[in-house]
Amino acid sequence: DAKTTQPPSMDCAEGRAANLPCNHSTISGNEYVYWYRQIHSQGPQYIIHGLKNNETNEMASLIITEDRKSSTLILPHATLRDTAVYYCIVNGGYQKVTFGTGTKLQVIP
Amino acid sequence: DSGVTQTPKHLITATGQRVTLRCSPRSGDLSVYWYQQSLDQGLQFLIQYYNGEERAKGNILERFSAQQFPDLHSELNLSSLELGDSALYFCASSVEGGPTTGANVLTFGAGSRLTVL
């Protein structure tokens, strides 16, 4: 019952920006957009989250459209270590946190 | 080190047996979540506890049970094990996750790999 849609896989050249899209057309007003990634079989790692405004941290930028129905995670300079499955999650603080199938990002040398 | 500690890291057991997986959340976190990830599968939400009480339930089998103790650590009990229970089991914790809105960022442990032979 994931509420997001992501492409199953993407490739990105090393050193280039990786732009990962996420569709969340049924998002409600108090739900946040979160991004996590999972490298191989490690525990998922939090990347960034946002409610309405665009956000940036040391790992990535999150661009949320004005209608909040979609967002894009941007890794500004992808490295081989960014190869992972990226999960976009929509969640209000009171809801169970479910993961979809994510986008498998392959960074190519 | 994420601050979420899971033990054991690896566990090999036989069908029909029972095992207990343990999770210590980050200091100050009140919520604990359990997820199952079978080979090349996604993360399946099992159950969440908030400050000792069950908060949300996913597709957790009746053979599985969990609890969160007063010191906030949690245990996931898996009984009558089957071959299909072989998986990575992840625990996550968060500060929030209670009956309020607001951001709720999860921190995951490194997982417990269960192999049922």
pLDDT tens-place string over residues A52-83: 999 999 999 999 999 999 999 999 999 999 99
pLDDT band for B1, please (50, 70, 90 cuts). confident
User: Looking at CA atoms only, how far is residue B38 from chain A in angstroms?
Assistant: 10
Check pLDDT > 80 for residue A93.
no
| Three-class DSSP category at A106 | strand
Find the CB nearest B110 among A36, A43, A46: A43
Given this model, what pLDDT does residue A96 score? 81
The answer to whether the Cβ–Cβ distance between A94 and B88 falls below 8 Å is no
Q: Does B101 touch chain A (CB under 8 A)?
A: yes
Give how far the C-alpha of residue B41 lies from the chain's centroid of Cα atoms, to the nearest Å. Answer: 16
Structure tokens at A53: 């405004």
Q: Does B96 touch chain A (CB under 8 A)?
A: yes
Mutant choice from A97, A99, A101 vs B, greatest count of B C-beta within 10 A: A97
Check pLDDT > 90 for residue B95.
no
Q: How far, in Å, are A21, A35, A74, B6, B50 from residue A61 at the CA level?
A: 12, 10, 5, 30, 30
What is the C-alpha separation between A87 and A72, in angstroms, rounded? 12
Compute the C-alpha angle A64/B90/A76, nearest 5°.
30
Contact B42, B20 (CB under 8 A): no
Residue B16: is it exposed, middle or buried by C-beta count within 10 angstroms (0-12/13-18/19+)? Answer: exposed
Residue B25: is it exposed, middle or buried by C-beta count within 10 angstroms (0-12/13-18/19+)? Answer: buried
Q: What are phi and psi of A81, to 5 degrees?
A: -70, -10
DSSP string covering A4-59, please? -B--SEEEEETTSPEEEEEE-TT--TTPEEEEEEE-TTSPPEEEEEESSS-EE-SS
What is the C-alpha separation between B67 and B54, in angstroms, rounded? 8
Check pLDDT > 80 for residue B97.
no
What is the C-alpha separation between B10 and B95, in angstroms, rounded? 27
Structure tokens at A69: 């129905």
* Cβ contacts of A6 on chain B, cutoff 8 Å: none
Give how far the C-alpha of residue B75 lies from the chain's centroid of Cα atoms, to the nearest Å. Answer: 7
Find the CB nearest A93 among B33, B45, B104: B104
Mutant choice from B34, B43, B112 vs A, greatest count of A C-beta within 10 A: B43
